[in-house]
Amino acid sequence: SIWLASLSMLPFVLMVPLVLARPLPSFQSMQPPAGGIDWLALLSMAMWVTSGFEAVSLFSVQVARPSHTLPKALRFSLYMMIVTTVGPILLCAAVPPAASWRSWRVGAFSQSAERLGGPLLGMCMCFAAMASTLGMLNAIMCTSARAMQALAHQQMLPALFRLESDVTGTPLPALLATMLGILCLLSFSFKELVEMDMSFCAIAIAMEFFALLRLRWSEPLLHRPYRVPLGHWALWLFCSLPLSICTMIITLSLTKRSFLVWLGAIATWGIMSLLKQRGRHAGYTRVA
């Protein structure tokens, strides 16, 4: 992960002295595009960039002094997220004609790097994008496959997804199912994929916030690796903004092409439930 992250950021590091050595363009032309703001795309992209921090709760019990370590780790991750997101955008926006939003398309980073440092830096940016994409694909396939295996152990998916390789321990059925799901989404654009991903993520995040509120009221004395230092009503106010954003994303996504994916997910859940019931009657759900 460290090597992939370093390789992905290397071209932008090389661009810093090249950008500072030339006069900066005027950014007055960087106005919102004609036709209004696509709020679903805006909110989905903002959530996509800032999501993932909640995953720290999965291993908080394994962290030494979590009440002290987790806030510091989250603070450092927030700083890194801002630098690695805003920094590359500002660097490429400083290279004409990227100062106009109309020139921002797929491959805009590579084009800016080539204009600034020649074909070699442009190729370096392309290889960095490939490394970043490979890392993200590997991460999503591995984590999704393990999540499916865990759900199968909790009897929420068919027992088939519990199986794993005797040699490597890889959950092959769950990994193949994840790969098939990714193949089914190849026809969608990057924008549509982000909107769909964040619409489902919004549901999960909203459930996490509701679980936080419910446990704070129903189990106030329950031991927690880290306790949010807010009172009951302050916690409600703290959760109201992200819950409102999640509600907006879910509502807006129902009017897009992603609605078909919602229907597909509901149908898949129904099929999985039927398979689970059949496996239970056959006596296989209690295996392992």
Instruction: Examine the pLDDT at 29 and tell me if it is beyond 80.
Output: no
pLDDT digits (tens, 9 = 90+) for 180-189: 888 877 777 7
Q: What is the pLDDT of residue 24?
A: 67
Mean per-residue pLDDT for 239-260?
Answer: 78
In this model, does residue 190 exceed pLDDT 70? yes
| pLDDT of 257 above 80 | no
pLDDT score for 172: 83
Give the mean pLDDT of 137-166. 78
Q: Which of 208, 245, 242, 212 is nearest to 230 (CA)?
A: 212
* pLDDT exceeds 60 at position 73: yes
Residue 193, pLDDT score: 79
Of these ranges, 27-41, 113-127, 155-169, the one predicted with the greatest mean pLDDT is 113-127
The pair of three-digit structure tokens given for residue 34, joined into one six-digit string: 């004609």
Note the pLDDT tens digit of each residue in 90-131: 887 777 665 556 667 777 788 888 888 888 888 888 888 888
What is the length of the chain?
288
Is pLDDT of 150 > 70? yes
**Highest mean pLDDT, choosing among 28-32, 45-49, 212-216:** 212-216
Instruction: Report phi then psi at 204, rounded to 5.
Output: -65, -45
The CB-side HSE value for 198 (13 A sphere, CA atoms) comes to 29
Helical H segments across 38-189, by residue range: 39-50, 66-93, 108-153, 172-184
Flag whether pLDDT at 287 surpasses 70. Answer: no
Q: Label residue 74 exposed, middle or buried (CB < 10 Å: 0-12, 13-18, 19+).
A: middle
Residue 10 buriedness (CB in 10 A; 0-12 / 13-18 / 19+): middle
- What average pLDDT does the structure give for the chain? 76
Provide the pLDDT confidence category of residue 261 given band limits of 50, 70 and 90. low
pLDDT band of 54, cuts 50, 70, 90: low
Q: Is the pLDDT of residue 14 over 70?
A: yes
What mean pLDDT is predicted for residues 18-25? 74
